[in-house]
Amino acid sequence: MAMEVTQVLLNAQSADGSVRKLAEDNLRQFQDQNLAAFLVSLSGELASDDKPPESRKLAGLILKNSLDAKDAGRRAELGDRWLLLDSAARAQIKAALVATLAAPVAEARHTAAQVIAKVAAIELPRQAWPELIPGLLANVTSSMGVANAAHLKEATLETLGYVCEAISSEVLAQDQVNSVLTAVVQGMNSSEASSEVRLAATNALYNALDFAQTNFDNTVERDYIMRVVCEATLSPDSRVRKAAFECLVSIASTYYEKLAPYMKDVFAITSKAVKEDEESVVLQALEFWSSICDIEIELLDEFSTTGDSELSNFHFIRQALPYLVPMLLETLTKQEEGQDQDEDVWNLAMAGGTCLGLVAKAVGDDIVPLVMPYVQENISKPDWRCREAATYAFGSILEGPGPDKLAPLVTSALPFMLNAMKDENSHVKDTTAWTLSRIFEFLHGPSVDTSVVNQANLPLILSVLLESIKDAPNVAEKVCGAIHAVAVGYDDSLTSTGGSNPLSPFFQNIVQALLAAADREDAAETRLRIAAYETLNDVVKCSSDDTVAVVGQLVPVIMEKLGQTLQMQVLSVDDREKQSELQALLCGVLQVLIQRLSSSEPTKYAMVQFADQMMGLFLRVFACRSATVHEEAMLAIGALADAIGVEFGKYMQEFYRYLEMGLQNFEEYQVCAVTVGVVGDICRALEDKVLPFCDGIMTQLLKDLGSNQLHRSVKPPIFSCFGDIALAIGENFEKYLSYAMPMLQSAAELSVMQAAGDDEMLDYNNQLRTGILEAYSGIFQAFKGTKPEAMMPYVAGILQFIESVYQDKERDDVVLKAAVGVMGDMADCLAGTSAQFFRNSAFYKDFLDECLSSDDHRLKETAEWAQATINRYMV
């Protein structure tokens, strides 16, 4: 039975906190006591034109949230709860929702459309609510003469769009799909008088395109759909034009192979839009060409990797090149004068430049002769817009054409570009710095035959960059990117220069300039501080052994800065955010410094002298409530443990509570994942000295695995961590076997069951299997030579799991290597006893043969070792 909820809903929006809380409690109580009556009351409220708009809006929102949630598990729960309601109550709610589509109040119609789609997402896949689609179609076709006819038609088309968005394309029968598309496309027609109806229909088509595979296979139907969409791009209403271009973007991605007959017309309408239309429409028109580029780049990559691709490449971009490039170049001078350069605002010039960059990747060398005349003509003009556009065009085409084609142009342009860093206009300097970073990224480094950065011009390049890093924050940030690209380009030179690289003489000046940039007062208000510290990290990672003393001098400097953050005055949320950001950045720098110093023989043991002070700082920043700070501090602690080894043991007593907190942090699951990784670092560092803490760690890891709250991505590393713990404590792991092995077995069975699925599920499944196999590997090694019999009850199940991995052709080489490694570890642990198990597992020889013939040398090496180990005991 419905209840009067109007006043309660209004009170729930009251400015008075006590009134609001009482109303919220009343609503919650009503929901808990009688869910069916509660939802019926809300649907009645939404449907009643006599009720205030505010109460109707909240009623609809609560209804929607009762049916749907972002979390997949919670969504399934809500769906099951809905289906358990009395069928009469459900019918009453659905009838009220459908009736609301004719309401004179737009917000009520819009909300009802959304809620209907949520119900449809639950019921239609279960063959329930069969009358929904026919009823909605009747609204569209038979609304003439009905009160609020245009409103009803608009709301119904909106509903059809939301329903298509909410359900899988397999749910509707083809005749229903045909009827929906017919209704939607008719609503888009230029003969439709109402712009609102045309807009709703165009948006609905966007959501229904996945359903239209059969219709796009039919030439007549496809022609009709494409004609109506193209006509809609010429609608008098800019909202309809924008929505129509959005449909074209989706059609490009979904039905690329069907587009050939329409490309001439599409070019004409996109060209017209770029010349004449509003920015929001032009952005979508450009997005169409970017989507075509994305597809053709992917097809080129696929062809170069495998020699084959599922789709034919029609080379639409190459065919349109002489017309498309001038159109894109035209957009580059449409910069926004007052644009805040500290924020990347997406505008016509940025969209045009991005598309031009994609065109360059799609056609390679062919773009150069079409763009360079524009660059040469505009690069020195008095109007800053022309200079900036020419620089942007040049920077945009640097990825795609071959180095042989670009190197001569870039070499001759480089002095000019370096000089342009002194341009009077900040926009020009900003874009020049970005272009320089692209030059150094694509035309400098070991993979380029002739680098544009050489011993002759390196001093000038660095002189200009280190001067320009003092410029406005937006320019300085891009300069950091250029310094990063120069440093990374020398990264692989260490192997051929005996522990030195060309940056070494400039290393100290670069470090000082980056620290000064990070310390600027305006750095905290922009991305400059982040860019400066991240670039510092890259420069340190790429440093050679002859500069390691300077790296060592950085440690106390960064520790002092981290200590100063603990004294910062925090009076507002903004202050807290700035403190957290700085602490996270500094912990990140310390992690890189630790790793760099511990990787070099002269400073390998230098970390011990800093460890006490460093660990004290890390423990203090845990008081901050920021997940990012916790992550970075944890990663730095893991690096420290790795660097100082068994010496880390003295910090465990105090650190353990933060380790436990990290493992319990289900909500900020990235922190939990990082903490699991640090457990592995500590196990490798302390070996059996970690034993006193293992009960607590294992208890928490097992709780994590059993939790539905923890994000699934953390679970594979937890299994891998079992292997780390076992390796550290050896036979002492036996006490955990009866808890850990059933968990591993359940996960292994789950991975076999969920092998099929989308790409995301396949990736996750491979990660899960890798984690399980790494656990098995570590545990077998732990019992080798001590208690191999402890593993005997589990061997048959493990081999069965490995066989299922072998049979699954979706597994990747990482999983294969881990699986083969487990077979070798099993033979090594069980010695002669392993022979009976392998004799009963006929698959293992075929599995080894496949791995031995692999092109992956690491997989092949592991397989050779496993084969030799197994054969040793098969006599």
Written as one string, the DSSP assignment of 372-409 is: HHHHHHHTT-SSHHHHHHHHHHHHHTTSSS-HHHHHHH
SS (H, E, C) 49-83: CCCCHHHHHHHHHHHHHCCCCCCHHHHHHHHHHHH
Tokens of 581: 């950001």
Q: What is the pLDDT of residue 336?
A: 67
Predicted local confidence at residue 148, as pLDDT: 65
pTM (two decimals): 0.84
**Among 804, 678, 788, 711, CA closest to 753:** 804
Structure tokens at 274: 């770029």
Cβ neighbours for 643, distance < 8 A, ≥ 6 positions apart: 594, 595, 597, 598, 607
Under 8 Å CB-to-CB from 149, ≥6 apart: which residues? 143
Please report, to the nearest 10 degrees, the dihedral formed by the alpha carbons of residues 246, 248, 250, 254 taken in order.
180
Note the Cα 325 to chain centre separation in Å. Answer: 31
d(CA 290, CA 324): 11
Based on DSSP, count helices (H) and strands (E) in the chain, helices before strands.
Answer: 41, 0
Enter the CATH code of domain 402-543: 1.25.10.10
Q: What is the mean pLDDT of each run of 10 residues along the chain (875 residues)?
A: 76 90 90 91 92 91 91 85 93 95 92 95 93 92 65 93 91 92 92 91 95 94 96 95 97 95 95 93 96 94 75 90 95 72 71 96 96 95 94 95 92 94 94 96 80 89 97 96 93 56 93 96 89 96 89 94 92 89 96 90 73 94 88 95 93 94 90 95 95 96 90 93 96 94 91 69 89 95 90 91 86 89 91 81 85 88 90 76
CA distance 80 to 548: 62
CA 17 to chain centre: 39
Q: Among the residues of 687-812, which ranges form H helices?
A: 694-706, 715-729, 734-753, 759-783, 795-807
CA–CA dist 226, 204 (Å, integer): 15
Contacts of 672 (CB under 8 A, 6+ apart): 662, 663, 664, 665, 666, 704, 710, 711, 714
Q: Which residue has the tokens 């009077």?
A: 424
The amino acid present at 519, given as its one-letter code, is D
Q: 714-875: same fold as 402-543?
A: yes
- Of 875, 860, 859, 861, the closest CA to residue 827 belongs to 875
| pLDDT score for 526 | 85
> 129: phi > 0 → left, psi -120 to 50 → alpha, else beta; which?
left
pLDDT recorded at residue 339:
54
Cα separation values, 279 from 54, 282, 393, 730, Å? 34, 5, 20, 66
Q: What is the pLDDT of residue 499?
A: 66
pLDDT at position 807: 86
Q: What is the pLDDT of residue 603?
A: 66
- Report phi then psi at 710, rounded to 5: -75, 135
Q: Domain residues of the chain, as ranges?
A: 259-401, 402-543, 714-875
The pLDDT of residue 495: 43
For residues 640 and 511, give the distance between their C-alpha atoms in angstroms, rounded to a whole number. 22
Q: Which CATH number fits domain 714-875: 1.25.10, 1.10.3470, 2.60.40, 1.10.3430?
A: 1.25.10
First and final CA of the chain: distance in angstroms?
79
Give the distance between the most distant pair of CA atoms in the chain: 90
pLDDT of residue 1: 42
Give dist(CA 313, CA 256) in Å, integer: 9
User: What is d(CA 361, CA 289) in angstroms, rounded to the nearest whole number?
Assistant: 13
Q: How far apart are CA 91 and CA 493, in angstroms?
A: 72
